[in-house]
Structure 1
Amino acid sequence: MHLVPISAESIRIGHPLPFPLMDKDGVLLAKKDFVVGSKADLDDFSKRGGGLYIDVADSEAHHRAYIGRLHGLVNDEKALGEIAGTKLAGTTLGERASAGVVDDGKPDWLDLQEQCNYLLRDSNPAQFMDRLERLHGLLERHMLRNPDGVLFALIHLSASEKRRYSATHAMLVSAMCGLAAREVLNWPPEVVALLAKAALTMNLGMTDLQDRLALQTEAPSPAQRAQIDNHAEKSVEMLKALGVTNVHWLQAVREHHTQTPGPLKAKTGAERMARLIQRADMFAARLAPRASRQPISPAAAMQACYFDEERKVDEAGAALIKAVGIYQPGSFVRLATDEIAVVIKRGANTTTPRVAVLVNRSGIPTVEPTIRETSLPDYRIVASVAHREVKVQVNLEKMLPLTAVPASDRPW
């Protein structure tokens, strides 16, 4: 979690807080929607916590509250000097403009892993929902800005490391489900948001066990197997205790391992969400390494979720493939040139992504990645390559800028 300081002057007295207030150590001072009754109360919060802080993920909500504060001052006919001196995150409006402060939107994936890891172990109902909303909001914002970058980071992390398995897995499944629901199935935004949160919390009942199993060389014990079998219902019980009341969310989590082949239109809304989560969960689980087995290639993992239990094309699995591609960002491929490349952007169709060559035809790592368009016959993809077969170390900071969407192509 990244905390940023804010000024007490940016808080509207007598109005619900649009974000949680924290102290310098991240301890909750006031929940979202809490009404600060007086300036004295606000000063008490500030003194008690060594200042007022918010999560950087809430910066947009804080900015909107700040604008509301300015409007309030104008409506109250306050002096121009007082309005200009109103502070946002510890700086005046003029200071912020002259400093050129901007949100560069670059995700810190190690921090996001840590946020999700903490969330999945948070048993405090007073802060769980706020933390979940912040994490979901941050992931959604990155998905809207650069879905290829999000997929690249999460697929690379899932396939290349065992640390924080449960957190990375939850974020990848959530991102894939949200993308398929929004771009392919055209579900309403509120349903997409609910689906993404259900995916993030589907394995709440076995978070610790998931992380242990990723490092465990032997098969699950009978006690572990029982915990695995019962984790969906346990997750629902935990979510209820943490304040989740939405029946569709709870049902989607309860049924995310239920095998229900057949068209999505024949299912209820919650059943459709559960099926999409189940297919994405299957893909992500096959992708991730464990001490007891090697991961398979992303293309092979995706193929496994394409067919249902009756060996027919699964509608949810097909939507996922259409959304993320047969060769997803973060996966490795071999080109007709015999070069090995990593996928950086989805293409016009599921089989023609843009890639960056990391190993030349002689088997020597490239000094700098060379961009190839696989829609061109000379650079067509001839095979998917498993992560374990590529000995080149991928630098996320270096590769993620290659996935970025040009500002002129963004839909906002």
Structure 2
Amino acid sequence: MQIQTQLLGLALNQLRIDTALPWNLYDEAGHLLLTKGFILVRNAQVDSLIERGVFVREEDFKLYNYPDVVRAAPPPAELEIDPFRMRELIASKLALLLRDAAHDPSLVPDFAAKIGEIARVLHKLCDLHLDATLAAIYLTDHAKYPILHSIDTAVLVDLLARKMDWNDARRRTAVCAALTMNIAMIDAQTILALQRLPLSAVQKEAITTHPAQGADMLRAAGVSDELWLRIVADHHEVPDGTGYPAGKTTLDDATLLVRTMDIYTALVTPRHTKAASDTAQAARNLFVQENKYGNTLVGLLIKEIGLHPPGSYVKLKNGDIAVVFKRASATTPPMVHSFINGKGLPMLEPMWRDATRPEFAIASALPREAVTTKVDLLKIWSAHPHA
């Protein structure tokens, strides 16, 4: 039997064991697989359906869904958070704070406390939705690159500071420094992100001096934490003395952390004038570069988020193009959703794939510009409330 209607793909959490199906199920071509009322009794049946791709008619799905009584709902605070929307709100607030403080510190009373509050919100966002928060680094629009880049860096700084068992005060200071490291370059970075011409002498000077100027601006805005100020002043220094503005060769661990995450996020996020590296290649290249200085932070980052972190694009052995939605564990590969099939056709709905099966294993990473089909972020991550 074939049908001429809109089909919707089902995700893993939409098929339930020991419960009568509320709809007929079809394959991608519209052929009937199972009839309404059929009862799935084994996990293997569910896995088999998801792997091949299973669909329902849109009108049937809208007419009836399972009663929401099978599992307890998460706390209301978790249900209300859209991590991708929250990131945009944080970016808007941070941009306003940095621009006002750079132009006239008197416009932003309690500046340090307000940046600290943003750091606290990011920390909580990582607690509730770490995989989705990481995915935003690789997937969301970076038209606001200067601000989002600082937020991306701050997220990774927060993650690694926790893993290194830093106390809350030191971790918070490093995150605040990452959020404010480019305060002296906010407007200039917006121009540079779009500019295709070579840098002018004035622009080169602005780049070289922005760390020290940024520290001065923060001090004028009321920041008195010397570690915060030092991180901002030194975040472009390099352990071999080739950095700027002072050519230092000794960096404290907090400065090194912000510097390293700053470089990584710049590699994996695109601008108008620069394509992003694929995540695996970026991590490998940076690991080799930093290993020359004895910097072990890239290795720690890879251990925590993997070569294929949430939000990165991958090609599967069967030819599907998929997006990683959950980090690998010590015993399992990353969890992925296919959204383009092996024939290069977009799927109606992202489909979970079991990457432990040979045909769905990750074959390679893909750079962001290689994929033009948009991923519906909430369709993937809202299905996994703790992602």
Give your verdict on TM over 0.5.
Answer: yes
Shift in Å, 1:313: 6.1
Asked if the contact 1:148/1:403 (under 8 Å) is kept, the reply is no
Return the match for 1:378 from 350, 359, 368: 359
Matched position secondary structure for 2:260: helix
Shift in Å, 1:113: 2.1
Asked if the contact 2:131/2:326 (under 8 Å) is kept, the reply is yes
Matched position secondary structure for 2:322: strand
Shift in Å, 1:402: 4.0
Distance 1:217 1:291, change over 3 A: farther
Q: How many residues align?
A: 297
Matched position secondary structure for 2:81: coil
Shift in Å, 1:127: 4.2
* Residues 1:276 and 2:257 aligned together: yes
CA RMSD of aligned residues (A): 2.4
* Residues 1:181 and 2:157 aligned together: no
Matched to 2:282, the amino acid is A
Asked if the contact 1:329/1:346 (under 8 Å) is kept, the reply is yes
Asked if the contact 1:216/1:290 (under 8 Å) is kept, the reply is no
Return the match for 2:329 from 348, 354, 378: 348
Asked if the contact 2:129/2:385 (under 8 Å) is kept, the reply is yes
Asked if the contact 1:325/1:349 (under 8 Å) is kept, the reply is no
Deviates more, 1:310-319 or 1:218-227: 310-319
Matched to 2:82, the amino acid is K
C-alpha distance in structure 2 between counterparts of 1:194 and 1:186, whole Å: 14
* Residues 1:131 and 2:127 aligned together: no
Asked if the contact 1:198/1:252 (under 8 Å) is kept, the reply is yes
Question: Segments of 4+ in structure 1 off by > 6 A?
Answer: none
Shift in Å, 1:325: 1.5
The structure whose RCO (Cα within 8 Å, separation 6+) is larger is 2
Return the match for 1:105 from 66, 69, 81: 81
C-alpha distance in structure 1 between counterparts of 2:91 and 2:151, whole Å: 8
C-alpha distance in structure 2 between counterparts of 1:375 and 1:190, whole Å: 40
Percent identity of equivalent pairs = 28
| 1:167-178 alignment runs, 5 A limit | 167-178=147-158
Return the match for 1:146 from 129, 143, 149: 129
Matched to 2:132, the amino acid is G
For each residue in 1:71-121, what CA deviation from the matched residue of structure 2 results, as whole angstroms up to 9, or x when unmatched? xxxxxxxxxxxxxxxxxxxxxxxxxxxxxx943233323222212221221
C-alpha distance in structure 1 between counterparts of 2:320 and 2:143, whole Å: 30
Distance 1:395 1:310, change over 3 A: closer
2:347 maps to what in 1?
366
Distance 1:350 1:212, change over 3 A: farther
For each residue in 1:354-396, what CA deviation from the matched residue of structure 2 results, as whole angstroms up to 9, or x when unmatched? 1111111111111111112334433221111011111111223
2:227 maps to what in 1?
248
Return the match for 1:214 from 186, 193, 200: 193
| 1:12-411 alignment runs, 5 A limit | 102-103=76-77, 104-107=80-83, 108=85, 109-123=87-101, 124-157=107-140, 161-183=141-163, 185-260=164-239, 271-308=252-289, 311=292, 314-349=295-330, 352-405=333-386
C-alpha distance in structure 2 between counterparts of 1:350 and 1:332, whole Å: 21
C-alpha distance in structure 1 between counterparts of 2:230 and 2:150, whole Å: 17
C-alpha distance in structure 2 between counterparts of 1:106 and 1:289, whole Å: 23
Structure 2: 5+ residue stretches without partners? 1-74, 102-106, 241-248
C-alpha distance in structure 1 between counterparts of 2:321 and 2:96, whole Å: 36
Matched position secondary structure for 2:99: coil
1:17 maps to what in 2?
none
Asked if the contact 2:110/2:222 (under 8 Å) is kept, the reply is no
Asked if the contact 1:195/1:249 (under 8 Å) is kept, the reply is yes
C-alpha distance in structure 2 between counterparts of 1:172 and 1:290, whole Å: 14
Report the TM-score, using the length of structure 1 for normalisation: 0.67
Matched position secondary structure for 2:323: strand
C-alpha distance in structure 2 between counterparts of 1:334 and 1:151, whole Å: 20
Matched to 1:163, the amino acid is A
Report the TM-score, using the length of structure 2 for normalisation: 0.71
Matched to 2:166, the amino acid is W
Matched to 1:156, the amino acid is L
